[in-house]
């Protein structure tokens, strides 16, 4: 039985993945690392520290510390979210479905808490979420289950009674490793991939999620 719902943030609540790509390409360019959108997808779902470390392991740049790059990416993302971020199509309807059922909802994201709260306040959604968890406060980020396990502990609900919404493979692995039910909404370029076949439900868009889907997931053991 589903007693709580936890949403990923980037790519589920807001359409921020293109903004992350834009910020990463511009900031990494300052240390001579030329990224393309398809390369940025290799780190989708990782937190920013892990993303920076991933590319530093590949390129070994000098001149700027990883902390400086982190700071610059965060500053760029905060501006981009405030100025240009939009909610993902269908998210408000999905959120309303669970609010109407009085099922508590939370956020578990690789993004820093500052960016999550910036967006939720921008769209006047902050009050709907019982908990907000960021991997910056966990020892391990996605795909490790620590973030989701921490979120379910805050909610006081067993993970087997929680439903996660994810768009990235790393996030999906994290939720399933925590023993949660899982809905994945992959980007269009990933939708046909068999990598998401372990999901309990895979959708092309949140606009497709309906009451019948909730009933199906709620009936799963």
What positions carry a catalytic annotation? 8, 10
> Residue 149 is inside which H or E element, if any?
helix 146-155
Residues of 88-104 as b/e, b for ≥16 C-beta within 10 angstroms?
Answer: bebbeebbebbeeeebb
In whole angstroms, what is the distance from residue 122 CA to residue 20 CA? 18
Q: Are 129 and 109 in contact (CB under 8 A)?
A: no
Beta bridge partners of 183: 165, 201
Please choose, from the candidates 78, 43, 80, 50, the residue with its C-alpha nearest in 3D space to the C-alpha of residue 66.
50
Are the C-beta atoms of 19 and 85 separated by less than 8 Å? Answer: yes
């Amino acid at each position: 039985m589903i007693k709580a719902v936890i949403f990923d943030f980037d790519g589920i609540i807001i359409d921020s993945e293109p903004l992350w790509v834009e910020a990463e390409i511009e900031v990494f360019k300052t240390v001579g690392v030329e990224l393309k959108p398809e390369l940025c997808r290799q780190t989708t779902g990782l937190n920013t520290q892990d993303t920076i470390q991933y590319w530093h392991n590949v390129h070994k740049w000098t001149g700027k510390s990883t902390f400086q790059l982190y700071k610059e990416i965060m500053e760029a993302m905060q501006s981009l979210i405030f100025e240009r971020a939009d909610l993902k199509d269908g998210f408000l309807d999905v959120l309303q479905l669970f609010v109407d059922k009085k099922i508590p909802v939370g956020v578990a994201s690789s993004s820093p808490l500052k960016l999550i709260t910036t967006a939720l306040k921008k769209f006047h959604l902050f009050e709907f979420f019982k908990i907000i968890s960021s991997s910056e406060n966990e020892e391990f980020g996605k795909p490790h289950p620590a973030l989701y396990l921490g979120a379910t502990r805050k909610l006081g609900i067993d993970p087997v009674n929680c439903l996660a919404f994810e768009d990235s493979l790393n996030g999906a692995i994290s939720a399933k490793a925590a023993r949660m039910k899982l809905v994945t909404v992959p980007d269009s370029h990933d939708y046909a991939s068999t990598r998401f076949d372990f999901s309990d439900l895979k959708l092309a868009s949140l606009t497709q999620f309906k009451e019948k889907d909730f009933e199906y997931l709620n009936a799963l053991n």
